[in-house]
Amino acid sequence: MPLVSKVCNISMASIATELMMGRSLAEMGLLEKKIPHFGVKESVFPFNMFPEVDPLLGPEMRSTGEVLGLADSFGMAFYKAEEAAKSTLPEKGTVLITVAGKDRSGVLGLARQFLDLGFEIKATRGTQEFLADNGIRSDLILKLHEGRPNIDDAIKNGQIQLVINTPIGKASQYDDSYIRKAAIKYKVPYITTIAAASAAAKGIAAFKKGRSGVKSLQEYHGDIR
CATH number of the domain encompassing residue 185:
3.40.50.1380
Between residues 200 and 65, the one the model is more confident about: 200
CB contact at 8 A, 40 and 78: yes
Output the pLDDT for position 173: 46
Phi, psi of 97 (to 5 degrees): -120, 120
Does one domain contain both 101 and 137? yes
Does one domain contain both 49 and 113? yes
Its domain, for residue 156, covers 38-209
Does one domain contain both 47 and 139? yes
Does one domain contain both 171 and 218? no
Instruction: Report the relative pairing of strands 38-44 and 65-71 from DSSP bridges.
Output: antiparallel
State the average pLDDT over residues 189-203: 96
pLDDT digits (tens, 9 = 90+) for 105-150: 899 999 999 999 999 999 999 999 999 999 999 999 999 999 999 9
**In the chain, which residue ranges form alpha helices assigned H by DSSP?**
2-8, 12-20, 25-28, 74-84, 107-116, 125-133, 151-156, 177-185, 194-209, 217-222
Does one domain contain both 30 and 49? no
Does one domain contain both 46 and 150? yes
State the average pLDDT over residues 169-176: 58
* Three-state secondary-structure class, residue 123: strand
Q: Residue 103: left (phi > 0), alpha (psi -120 to 50), or beta?
A: alpha
* Helix or strand (DSSP H, E) at 121: strand 120-123
pTM to 2 decimal places: 0.87
Does one domain contain both 24 and 111? no
Q: How many domains does the chain have?
A: 2
